[in-house]
Amino acid sequence: MNFELLIQEAFKGREKAYVPYSNFKVGAAILTDSGKIYNGCNIENASYGATNCAERTAIFKAVSEGEKEIKAIAVVGSPEEYTFPCGICRQVISEFAKEDTPVIIAKNENEFLVNRLDEILPGAFTKKDLIK
Ligand code: THU
């Protein structure tokens, strides 16, 4: 899997960030099992709670196109520090990913961390708890 390409796509998503309130741009990109890549940005709102994170934008774009399986996700926030997905985004990733799905947290194409999803969301509550 080409993590560098996914990071580049996350940066492309980041360019579109709509962040008039925090001025904190985030981009994300997911690779799906069909082989397609979807990117996304954070989209803020005057009613702050209505803000959508970059990860969820990318995931919702993909799912709305019929995708159901995330093979990898890359996230880029501040290029100076690693920006980990927020708790809500970890939960949404878990809906469409597996325990060992790589979550790539990048400062840039050369500096990135790779965590399995279950390392950043241990003991996740998922469909396995509901669908028997
Ligand atoms: N943000 C994301 O896009 N993803 C995360 O995982 C963390 C937070 C955004 C939401 C908001 O627009 C800004 O970062 C500051 O919280």
Mean pLDDT of the chain: 97
- The residue-averaged pLDDT of 116-128 equals 97
| Ligand 1, atom 3: closest residue by C-alpha | 53
CA angle 65, 122, 25 (to 5 degrees): 50
User: pLDDT tens digits, residue range 39-74?
Assistant: 999 999 999 999 999 999 999 999 999 999 999 999
CA 10 / ligand 1 centre spacing (Å): 14
- What structural domains does the chain harbor? 3-129 (3.40.140.10)
CA 131 / ligand 1 centre spacing (Å): 31
Spatial CA neighbour of 93 closest among 130, 120, 113, 131: 120
Spatial CA neighbour of 58 closest among 34, 26, 86, 80: 26
Say whether 55 is catalytic. Answer: yes
- Which residue in this structure is represented by tokens 């996740």? 124
